[in-house]
Structures are given as C-alpha cells and as structure tokens.
C-alpha cells in the first residue's frame, strides 16, 4: 500500500488545495476532560463554535465539516487516543485528498510556559507522542503545528501525571480566553498564511 506521502506525490493533480484538515489532539473520555494533554480538544471546540457547526462521530474521530473564507475545513478530534493519532490523521488526509501542507495540528507543549503559543511549519515531534504518531504514519514532518504551552511545573518522574492532570485554579480562569486567542491564530493561518501568522503571533 502506498504511504500517504507517496499517495500525495503521485496524485497531486487530484488534491484539493483549498481544503484543510485541522486536528486537535487529546484523549477521549470524561476522565480526560479539562486536562492539560487535551488542550487541543479545547481549542478546536472553540474553533468549531466560531465558524458555526457541530461535530459528528465518523471513522477514527469526531468530524466537523464547514467552509471559511472560501476554504473547505475538516476539524478532527481523533478517538484513537493520543499515541495513535496518526492513524486518524492519515485516514482523513487520504479520504479528502488533502495535502499535508494543509494540515494544522494543535498540541500541548511542556517546553513552553503556560499560555504561550508557538507556530511552526514543520519540525520534530519534540517528545510528544501524538506528533510522533502523526509523523510516523505520514512519513512526513512538514505540516503546521500550533503548540500551546502547558508549563513544566513537575518533578521528572511525574511528567505523565502532570500532563494528564486538570488545570489548576489560576489556569482554569484563563484557559477560555487563551483558547479563543488560539482560534484567532488558526483563522489567521487560513486567511493570511503561515509566515504572516508566525510573524504576528510568535
């Protein structure tokens, strides 16, 4: 079977350059709601409300299909759990014939202070299992990632507990406003491109 990377290269004429797949990474289940590792879900939920629409359960996740600024958007919350995020991303890129250059992944980042956002057009997985799964599945790291800082206020042996824990009181008061700011960043990418948005928001 052709990899998604080869599929795109050999079928470039059939790609839809105006279609985008926007993925919020997280884990499904009530026990993971409002946890640091699920900030991707929180931001994409806000995006869904902003552009009006709702998610429907489909293969490998919750999908919201809509249009914005003349572009076809596919918002995805994978239900494969974090470590298998690549399975869902690969499927939906292939199904909708979307090139990975039009893939935007929203992810939590331990290396950034809480609330700090960083845009990157490509790069390594940075130790994040969700990104690692996507890169491995696509055999490609050239896709946009929006990293949301969750801080690193934990002892080394407690990293897993930290990322799977809920926001503290101070963070809870700010998370909605910060999620909305990140929605603005995503909409800027769609309207103005990654370079403009990096210069404005990074």
Which residues are catalytic, by number?
37
Q: Which region, left, alpha or beta, applies to residue 52 given φ > 0 means left and ψ of -120 to 50 means alpha?
A: left
- Contacts of 157-162 with C-beta under 8 Å, sequence gap 24+, read 159/110, 162/36
Which residues are paired to 13 by β-bridges?
Answer: none
d(CA 17, CA 84): 26
99: CB partners within 8 A, 6+ apart: 8, 12, 15, 17, 93
Closest CA to 19 of 67, 64, 73, 69: 73
* Residues 201, 117 contacting (CB under 8 angstroms): yes
């Amino acid at each position: 079977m052709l990899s998604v990377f080869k599929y795109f290269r050999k079928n470039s004429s059939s790609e839809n350059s105006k279609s985008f797949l926007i993925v919020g990474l997280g884990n499904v289940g009530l026990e993971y709601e409002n946890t640091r590792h699920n900030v991707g879900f929180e931001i994409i939920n806000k995006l869904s409300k902003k552009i009006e629409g709702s998610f429907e359960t489909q293969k490998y996740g919750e999908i919201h299909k809509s249009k914005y600024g003349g572009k076809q958007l596919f918002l995805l919350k994978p239900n494969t759990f974090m470590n298998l995020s690549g399975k869902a991303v690969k499927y939906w890129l292939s199904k909708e014939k979307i090139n990975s250059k039009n893939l935007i992944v929203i992810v939590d980042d331990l290396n950034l202070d809480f609330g700090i956002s960083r845009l990157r057009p490509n790069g390594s997985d940075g130790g994040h299992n969700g990104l690692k799964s996507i890169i491995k599945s696509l055999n490609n790291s050239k896709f946009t990632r929006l990293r949301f800082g969750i801080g690193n206020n934990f002892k080394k042996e407690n990293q897993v507990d930290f990322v799977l824990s809920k926001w503290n009181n101070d963070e809870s008061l700010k998370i909605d406003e910060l999620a909305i700011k990140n929605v603005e960043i995503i909409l800027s990418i769609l309207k103005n491109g990654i370079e403009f948005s990096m210069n404005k928001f990074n």
